[in-house]
Amino acid sequence: MDCGVNFDEKDRPRLPLQTSPRKLKGIVVTHGHLDHIGSLPLYQISTSVPVYGTRMTKLISEVILKDFLRLSGAVLPFEWVEVKKTMDFFHDMDYGEEFEVGGFKVEMRNAGHIPGSSLVTVKTSKGDVSYSGDINYTSTRLSNPADLSLVKETRVFVIESTYGKFNHPPRWQVEEEFYQSVREVVEGGGAVLVPAFSLARSQEILSLLAERDFQHPVYYDGMVKEMTRLMLDNPSHVAKYDSLRKAYENFYGIKGWQDRHKAWKGRGVIVTGAGMLKGGPAVYYYKKMSDNPRNAVFLVGYQAEGTPGRKILEEGKFDEQSAPLKARLGIFDFSSHAGRDQLVEILSNAKNLEKVVIVHGSPDSAFSLAETVRAKLGVEVISPQVGQEIEI
C-alpha cells in the first residue's frame, strides 16, 4: 500500500527500501501526493505490477509523476516508459467496490484528505487490516470527512501520525482569520501572495474566496490551473463543487509573464503552486512582492525543514543572500490531516482493535500519538523503524 518518495536537505529524491517486484501481486494507492506515489514506476522496470486506486487518484498521479520526472528525471532510476507503464497498469476502483489482490479482498472508502483519497481495508481470514493513508475527519470544501463505516471489524490499523502531537484550531476560525487578513491587506492597497500546494490546498483557498464573493482580483498560477480543471472534470470527488466552479469562472488563470507582472503590481490575491516556496512562479512573486510593507505573504500549509518557507518563518528571509522580508507574514492552519484527538477517534471506531502501527510522522509525533493511543485505547502500539518487519 503506497510507494512514495521524499527529499534530502539538498532537495534530492530519497527512494524507499524495495522488495522484489516479482513478490508483489499489486500495489494499492491511497492518493496522488508524491510521498505516496513517487516510486511506483520502480516496480514497472523489470516486470508489470498492477496498481489500484480511485479514478481521481489515477488522474492526479499521472500529472504528478510527469512533473516529478521533468524536475528530477536526471537522478531517477526510471524514465517516461516506466511512468507510462504505471498508468497503463493502474486499475481505477470506486469507493465501496470490493476487489481482489493476491487472494485478499480489498475495499476503499473516502479518507477525507484530498479528492480521491482512500482509507484501505484488507480482509483476511484472521481479521481485517486497515491503512489510513493520509486521513482527515474535518469537512472541507473539497472533501467530506473520512468514511469510517468499514473499519468496525478492523483488528490491525496502520495509521498516519503527521499531527500526532497536536490538535488543529477550529476550521471556521482559521477561515475567518484568513479571509479578514486578506481583506485587510488588499483594502489597504497591497497584494497577497498565497503559496499553496497545487493539489487541493490551492483549490481550497480559491473556493473559500469565491464562496465569500471576494470583491477584488484573484489570480491562480502554475500547476494549480491543471489540477483545478482536473477536479472540475470529476465532480463526484469534490464536496462543494459549485464553490470551485465559481472560483474557476470568476478568478483569473495566469497565462504568461505579462499576466504575472500585472498580478503582483496591483491589488489582489495570487494563489500559486510551491507551498513551501521551493520553486516555480511562487519564487518570482515572492521576490517581486517581499520588499513592500503593504503586501503580504500568507502561508497555508506545512513548511518542511530546509525549505525557503521554513526559513522565512524562522528567520524572516528567503535565503542567506536575501534581504529581510518587509511584507506582512501570516501562517494559517488549513491542514488536511487529522489532529491528535481525531486520530484517536478514528481508531476508536474499530471495535475489535488489537494492534496499531504508527507511520508517516516525525519521531516525536509518532511517539506522542503512540503514548496517547496506549493510554486511551489500551491496545498494542508499534512505531516501526525503516525496514522493520511486523507480524500482524
When pLDDT is averaged across residues 9-19 and rounded to a whole number, the result is: 89
Helix axes 257-265, 281-289, angle to 10 degrees: 40
Give the DSSP per-residue string, 59-106.
Answer: HHHHHHHHHHHHHHGGG-S--HHHHHHHHHTEEE--TT--EEETTEEE
How far apart are alpha carbons 338 and 312 in whole angstroms? 26
Q: Considering only CA atoms, which of 211, 185, 159 is closest in space to residue 356? A: 159
The grid coordinates listed for 253 are: 488563470
Q: Can you give the pLDDT at residue 49?
A: 96
Q: Considering only CA atoms, which of 84, 89, 130 is closest in space to residue 106? A: 130
Q: Can you give the pLDDT at residue 305?
A: 84
How far apart are alpha carbons 381 and 164 in whole angstroms? 13
How far apart are alpha carbons 86 and 307 in whole angstroms? 30
The grid coordinates listed for 195 are: 503559496
% pLDDT > 70, the chain: 100
How far apart are alpha carbons 110 and 113 in whole angstroms? 8
Cα torsion for 177, 160, 200, 292, to the nearest 10°? 50
- Beta-carbon neighbour count of residue 156 at 10 Å? 24
When pLDDT is averaged across residues 133-159 and rounded to a whole number, the result is: 97
When pLDDT is averaged across residues 132-160 and rounded to a whole number, the result is: 97
Q: What is the tens place of the pLDDT at every residue in 78-97?
A: 999 999 999 999 999 999 99
Contacts 24+ apart (CB under 8 A), 60-63: 60/31, 60/32, 60/115, 60/116, 60/199, 60/227, 60/230, 61/29, 61/32, 61/37, 61/86, 61/87, 61/90, 62/87, 63/32, 63/223, 63/226, 63/227, 63/230
Question: Does 8 score more than 90 pLDDT?
Answer: no
Q: What is the tens place of the pLDDT at every residue in 306-335?
A: 899 999 999 999 999 999 999 999 999 999
Q: Can you give the pLDDT at residue 28?
A: 98
Mean pLDDT of the chain: 96
Note whether 373 and 137 are within 8 A (CB): no
When pLDDT is averaged across residues 71-80 and rounded to a whole number, the result is: 94
% pLDDT > 90, the chain: 94
Question: Does 10 score more than 90 pLDDT?
Answer: no
- State which amino acid sits at residue 8: D
Note whether 377 and 172 are within 8 A (CB): no
Q: What is the tens place of the pLDDT at every residue in 104-115?
A: 999 999 999 999
- State which amino acid sits at residue 263: A
When pLDDT is averaged across residues 361-374 and rounded to a whole number, the result is: 96
Residues 6 or more apart whose Cβ sits within 8 Å of residue 313: 299, 303, 329, 331
The grid coordinates listed for 113 are: 484528505
State pTM to two decimals.
Answer: 0.95
The stretches of the chain forming alpha helices (DSSP H) are 34-37, 55-72, 80-88, 171-187, 201-211, 224-232, 241-250, 257-265, 281-289, 308-315, 340-348, 363-377
When pLDDT is averaged across residues 344-371 and rounded to a whole number, the result is: 97
Provide the sign of the torsion angle of the four alpha carbons 77, 83, 86, 92, taken in this order. positive
Q: What is the tens place of the pLDDT at every residue in 167-177?
A: 999 999 999 99
How far apart are alpha carbons 172 and 106 in whole angstroms? 35
How far apart are alpha carbons 21 and 42 in whole angstroms? 9
Q: Considering only CA atoms, which of 77, 83, 100, 98 is closest in space to residue 26? A: 100
Question: Does 253 score more than 90 pLDDT?
Answer: yes
Q: Is 379 exposed, middle or buried (0-12, 13-18, 19+ CB in 10 A)?
A: middle
Give the confidence band of 304 by pLDDT, cuts at 50, 70, 90: confident
Q: Which CATH number fits domain 171-331: 3.30.70.890, 3.40.50.10890, 3.40.630.30, 3.40.640.10?
A: 3.40.50.10890
pLDDT higher at 166 or 391: 166
Provide the sign of the torsion angle of the four alpha carbons 63, 279, 200, 244, taken in this order. negative
Q: Considering only CA atoms, which of 3, 58, 76, 55 is closest in space to residue 34? A: 3
Question: Does 281 score more than 90 pLDDT?
Answer: yes
Note whether 99 and 76 are within 8 A (CB): no
Q: Can you give the pLDDT at residue 11?
A: 83
> How many Cα atoms are found within 13 Å in the side-chain-facing hemisphere of 33?
19
Q: Can you give the pLDDT at residue 69?
A: 96
Q: What is the tens place of the pLDDT at every residue in 123-138?
A: 998 899 999 999 999 9
Q: Can you give the pLDDT at residue 9?
A: 81
Q: Can you give the pLDDT at residue 315?
A: 95
Provide the sign of the torsion angle of the four alpha carbons 346, 348, 349, 352, taken in this order. positive
Helical (H) or strand (E) element with 351: none
Pairing relationship of beta strands 127-131 and 328-331 according to DSSP bridges: unpaired
**Domain definitions of the chain by residue range:** 6-166+336-382, 171-331
Question: Fold for domain 6-166+336-382?
Answer: Metallo-beta-lactamase; Chain A (3.60.15)
How far apart are alpha carbons 115 and 234 in whole angstroms? 9
Q: What is the tens place of the pLDDT at every residue in 193-230?
A: 999 999 999 999 999 999 999 999 999 999 999 999 99
